[in-house]
Amino acid sequence: MRYDHLVVATGAHAILPEIPGVDREGIFILKDLKDGIDIKSFIEEKRCSKAIIVGAGFIAMELSEGFTSRGIETSIVYRKDLPLSRWDPELSRFVLKELSANGVSFIPGESPVAVEKGSGSHLRLVTDAGEQEGDIIVFALGVRPNTKMAREAGLATGASGAIRVDFSQQTSREGVYAVGDCCEAYHLISREWVNLPLGDIANKQGRVAGRNIAGFPAAFPGVVGSQSLKVFALEAAATGLDERASERAGYDPASTIVWGGPAARSMNDARKLGLKLVADRKTGRLLGAQAVGQGGAVWRINTLSACLCSGMDLDTIGYLDLAYSPPFGGSWDLIHIGAQVLKKAL
Distance CA 22, CA 114 (A): 7
Only segment of 7-15, 146-154, 218-226, 271-279 that touches its own copies (CB under 8 A) = 218-226
Phi, psi at 76, each rounded to 5°:
-110, 125
Q: Does 193 bind its own copies (CB under 8 A)?
A: no
Only segment of 69-77, 131-139, 168-176, 298-306 that touches its own copies (CB under 8 A) = 298-306
For residues 237-256, which are near its own copies according to CB under 8 A?
Answer: 237-239
Q: Does 327 bind its own copies (CB under 8 A)?
A: yes
Could you please report the per-residue DSSP string of 5-39? SEEE---EEE-----TTTTSTTEEE--SHHHHHHH
Residue type (1 letter), 303: T
Q: How far is the CB of 82 from its own copies (least distance, A)?
A: 20
Could you please report the per-residue DSSP string of 243-263? HHHHHHTT--EEEEEEEE-SS
Q: Does 235 bind its own copies (CB under 8 A)?
A: yes
For residues 48-77, which are near its own copies according to CB under 8 A?
Answer: 58
Nearer to its own copies, 95 or 301 (CB): 301
In DSSP terms, 275 is beta-bridged to: 258, 291
Q: How far is the CB of 319 from its own copies (least distance, A)?
A: 5
Size of the site for its own copies (CB under 8 A): 52
Q: Does 306 bind its own copies (CB under 8 A)?
A: yes
| C-alpha separations of 205 from 11, 177, 181, 183, 222 in Å | 12, 10, 10, 9, 9
Q: Three-state DSSP class for 178? A: strand
Inter-residue contact 216 to 336 (CB < 8 Å)? no
Q: Does 319 bind its own copies (CB under 8 A)?
A: yes
Distance CA 96, CA 80 (A): 12
In DSSP terms, 137 is beta-bridged to: 27, 52
Only segment of 37-45, 133-141, 142-150, 226-234 that touches its own copies (CB under 8 A) = 226-234
Binding residue for its own copies, selected from 213, 302, 341, 346, defined by CB under 8 A = 302
For residues 163-192, which are near its own copies according to CB under 8 A?
Answer: 188
Site residues for its own copies per CB under 8 A: 58, 188, 198-204, 208, 220-230, 235, 237-239, 298-299, 301-307, 309-312, 315-316, 319-325, 327-328, 331-333
